[in-house]
A and B are shown apart, each in its own frame.
Chain A
């Protein structure tokens, strides 16, 4: 047997969702899972600080974004369900943790991002986009503010390009630091808050709220057993949870302490992908790319009101026109009939006409059916529209549905339960 899409060989130990086999190759035997084909990471994958920990816990390690990372431990579906029902611990230390500081950092970053950073209070986080001059998406990221300093958390596969872009575009007076001495853990799921609270991290200084008061999309500095932790209430699963920046030398102790909680298990990249797909969250390099603008990508919310009025971000002329006139294509969710999944690269048809392409797809463990994201002609994007997917010659029925596929359960302070 030979996989007929996404991976060249059954026994390839390469995980595909981010490393992206060329979707046009579905059905052939070319090894498209080789990360050297698609990203700029080092040819020989690097190891992350938790490497030995993953191996000791039975993680199946694969090259991903230039690093050896765990794709799964006990199995993707079981790990996915555990995260939705308890809490999962994800090692996302491959992501780039950047700090932008210096006089005028706010204005300098606003020249590169469409966010209104003036609205960002100290300790607040916001989803934003690094844009090229045509309004194409270079990366998606989380930007946060501490006083006059900004932190950016960017994708692992794109971080080197992002750093190059920022160094080139930021004025000399602005300092860009890559905190590559820091690891990053994500703790996600309904038990995440209790599991992290059990470690009793203390505010790092006066004026920082206790952990229990940290709201969704807020970040603050804490100390756990003398070790500094940057804790953000955020994530990529649709669940309540945290992303914890930790010094590399402390990450094993922290991972051990979190997994000592009976509700926490380590979770691999495979479930991370299926969780974010259910949550309707796009994955850079698949659902987003330099060829796609924020409006077509359904990320118009990332272009703040003041920036819409004033412009002054890369690609503003084109993006503002797309906001006014409507984009030619849209990112939509598809619920697929039957049991066979549609995967990246599968064509989407209305009648006999190709109107788009699947950008991510797979089996939803929560809904127990295949789901997908696709980029399709805007005329066909209304929820309820019946379409067809050509999956290697098999025609699958699909209905446009709103995203998220599975409702978000973020922690909203004061929100009704």
Chain B
């Protein structure tokens, strides 16, 4: 399984044709306490860069974009009762949704962990 990051602070962990999507630990720290997550319907087709979910925090509502093109195959059921999982476990238990990838080649345009860490360090 390989994890990729976007400049908009999403991560996608890819296992075969399925990618699990969330927001980075850095992003959750910037947003502050998360109070609500709006997730897409399973089966929704998303283009890369299209708004996939909304993360509402005490500070602001933020769109989460699909890192790559795909179809929503699953959403994290735990977030309805515990949106704060995105704060406490952003890059694992606080995942948002799973996508069936349409074009795994799109992953080449994303950053790996080291590149993302370097990117964040520059912000």
Contacts and interface: CB of A to CB of B under 8 A. Distances in A.
Contacts of B38: 340, 394
A338 B65 CA distance: 23
A339 interface: yes
B35 A1 contact: no
Given A1-B27, A6-B59, A10-B8, A340 B65 contact: no
A339 B31 contact: no
Contacts of A374: none
Contacts, number: 87
A391 B60 CA distance: 12
B52 to A, nearest CB: 9
Contact of A270 (B10, B51, B56, B58): B58
Interface string A356-371: 0000001101000010
A16 B60 contact: yes
Nearest to B123: A11
A339 B35 contact: yes
Interface residues of A, number: 30
A375 to B, nearest CB: 21
Nearest to B62: A3
* Interface size, B (range): 20 to 34
Contacts of A362: 58
A1 B62 contact: yes
Contacts of A274: 58
A72 to B, nearest CB: 6
B93 interface: no
A2 B23 CA distance: 11
B33 interface: yes
B123 A5 contact: no
Interface of A: 1-7, 10-11, 15-16, 72, 75-78, 270, 274, 338-341, 343, 362-363, 365, 370, 391-392, 394
Which 6 residue pairs are nearest across A and B when measured between Cβ atoms?
A339-B36, A3-B62, A3-B60, A363-B35, A1-B64, A76-B58
